[in-house]
Amino acid sequence: MPELPDVTVYIEALDSRIRGARLEKIRLFNPFLLRTAVPPIGNAEGRKVLELSRLGKRIVIGLEEELFLVLHLMIAGRLHWPGRKTRNTLALFEFDSGTLSLTEAGSKRRASLHLVRGEAALRAMDPGGVEVFGVDLPGFALQLTKQNHTLKRALTDPTLFSGIGNAYSDEILHRAKLSPVALTGGLSEEQVRTLYEATRRVLSEWTRKLRTEGFPEKVTAFREGMAVHGRYGEPCPVCGAPVQRIVYAENETNYCARCQTGGRILADRALSRLLKKSWPRSLD
């Protein structure tokens, strides 16, 4: 799923292409994409784009008459410029400056489009997580320790932190040398500070890297240069130990046992039950 760095670069790329342009036509090719009925989607046509912004992992296109198109790409949704209709196209947004297309790979239709009117309606869609570049260390610590969650869950909770998902949370925790299953309530002040700094550095570094790619056509959760995410079995770039993983539902947490858990291999819900006593508990 596109996260803060990806969505930020999408918005910057769109800003230079459609800000000030007029949205002439919206062509929808899948009935499940549009999640609102009022105001009608046709009300957005003919309106000029005034601003682009991010709402968590959502892309917001602000139009005249206080209308806002809100796109959530979810896992497999992607934007293309210039866009054209293909087998996976869910919608085309035809501006007087060019066409933006929204596609979604696979058979599951999770991407969504909302049209809302007014700032209050837009704010109602905000999960409430703080922006990591807009909060100081005490504010970050307050959010982190609101509930006693694992670090992985806390970082990816949109009601706590805005825009962080599965991929970048792995990178942040590796940078901070903290276990993904460590509990937020058990962190020292120094560990909280380390996590705060790692969060800001990882997200800013990846945003800078992605800006060099032009319009983000190749958005993926598994990027060359990531330390641990998507690199199960490969050597950790810091210590050389094989990257480990925990698989749950459709998500995978990657970590380095030597750098983050003192050499302890965390139990995988499925594999550890299958292997039982044969499950390796450490790298040694």
Q: Where are the domains of the chain?
A: 4-123, 137-278
Q: Any residues with CB less than 8 A from the CB of 59 and at least 6 apart, and which?
A: 7, 10, 11, 14, 52, 70, 71, 72, 73, 79
Counting as low any pLDDT under 50, the low residues of the chain are: 271-279
3-class secondary-structure state, position 116: strand
pTM of whole model > 0.85? yes
What pLDDT is stored for residue 150 in this prediction?
95
Q: What is the pLDDT of residue 219?
A: 84
Instruction: Give the pLDDT of residue 205.
Output: 97
Kindly state the tokens that stand for 210: 């992605």
Identify the CATH number of the domain defined by range 137-278.
1.10.8.50
| CATH pick for 4-123 out of 3.20.190.10, 3.40.50.12780, 3.40.190.10, 3.40.50.720 | 3.20.190.10
pLDDT per residue as tens digits for the range 176-206 = 999 999 999 999 999 999 999 999 999 999 9
Which residues of 96-170 form beta strands (DSSP E)? Answer: 98-104, 112-117
**pLDDT tens-digit profile of 266-278?**
986 554 443 344 3
Extract the tokens encoding 271.
Answer: 């594999």
